[in-house]
Amino acid sequence: MKPAESYDNFPDIKERLDQIVDQVSVDDLPLEQALALYEEAVKLGTRVSALIESAQGEDQEQSAEQAQEASEEPLVQ
């Protein structure tokens, strides 16, 4: 199991979460293992939130830069 922080895209996180769902769906899964998988899923959820916040921050930064560049362009008459 690789650390949640090492996942850097949504498809990989979703794939791992799907694997976790498959694993916890087994009836004879030991409680200790189920709890470890639950903790991993929570960490992956936190990682998704961080990726979303990062992407939103980058979008806002780009929008601000574009607005700044547009305001600096001379008006054509």
Look at residue 76 and tell me whether its pLDDT is greater than 70. no
Q: Are 46 and 4 in contact (CB under 8 A)?
A: yes
- Here the tokens at position 13 are 């996180």
Helices (H) and strands (E) in the chain, counts: 2, 0
Q: Measured between alpha carbons, how far is 76 from 13 in angstroms, rounded to an integer? A: 49
Look at residue 75 and tell me whether its pLDDT is greater than 80. no
Look at residue 69 and tell me whether its pLDDT is greater than 90. no
pLDDT digits (tens, 9 = 90+) for 23-43: 999 999 999 999 999 999 999
pLDDT digits (tens, 9 = 90+) for 43-67: 999 999 999 998 887 766 666 666 6
pTM: 0.71
